[in-house]
Amino acid sequence: MMPTPSFDTWTIVFLIAAVQGFFIALVLFHWKRGRPLGKRLLAALVLLFSITLTEYVFYWTNYIQDFPHIAEISSCFPFLFGPLMYWYLRTCYEKTRLGYRDIWHLFPFALAFAAYLPWYILDAAGKQAVMLQQVRMPIWGISLGLITWGRIAHLLLYAIWCTRYVYRQPRWGRAPAGDGCSTVSFSVFVSHTPPILCCAVFPFSTPPGITIYRRP
């Protein structure tokens, strides 16, 4: 049996942070000042962070067993954090739009999503059975390992790439006109990369797929 669902002080704090993230994403998406594309890319990034944090709260409080379709919903998101941040910075500094040549940034996410597809299409009863370790997770064990380490490598590479990109800009230290939060947003992304990596390495803070769904 799984523990009884309950909230404590820390999980309430994280839940409030997640709700604030949803609100900020909504404001950014509808903010007309500056470049709409840049604001929407930033809104998407904040939204993904908020969804990830919400899943973690459900897991930490054990409410994940009552809402099984939330489990693993954010497993592929780390493959989107880097591209979204890079696209946002490029939109701010180069004032360019996204094109077909940018699609390749989504290939790692597409591969990870395809690997997790058997889990996503599983019904609620099937997911609960996996959480109770009554059956195995319908994903190849090697795929889970590759995705876990792939998330770490992907985040590190994009953190380095974005850092190099920003430092090469002639206006480093000063945000482009009309996008005063670009440099701050980049700093937040880089500063949040280590905690995200910790969540992918240490079992006490990892998403459900690395702990309660572990294959025997």
- Tell me whether residue 4 is in a domain: no
More confident residue, 38 or 105: 105
Structural domain that includes position 200: 9-210
For residues 15-28, average pLDDT: 91
- Tell me whether residue 148 is in a domain: yes
pLDDT (tens digit, 9 = 90+) per residue, 25-35? 998 888 877 77
More confident residue, 86 or 189: 86
- Tell me whether residue 164 is in a domain: yes
- Tell me whether residue 160 is in a domain: yes
From the list 66, 93, 51, 47, the residue with the least C-alpha distance to 5 is 66
- Tell me whether residue 3 is in a domain: no
pTM of the predicted protein model: 0.79
Among 47-56, 133-142, 164-173, the minimum mean pLDDT is found in 164-173
- The total domain count for the chain is 1
Chain centroid to Cα 200, Å, comes to 11
Per-residue pLDDT, 170:
72
To the nearest 10 degrees (0 to 180), the angle between helices 182-201 and 141-167 is: 150
- Tell me whether residue 69 is in a domain: yes
Query: For residues 5 and 63, is the Cβ–Cβ distance under 8 A?
Result: yes
Per-residue pLDDT, 211:
41
Q: Is the pLDDT of residue 208 over 50?
A: no
- Tell me whether residue 1 is in a domain: no
Per-residue pLDDT, 216:
31
- Tell me whether residue 216 is in a domain: no
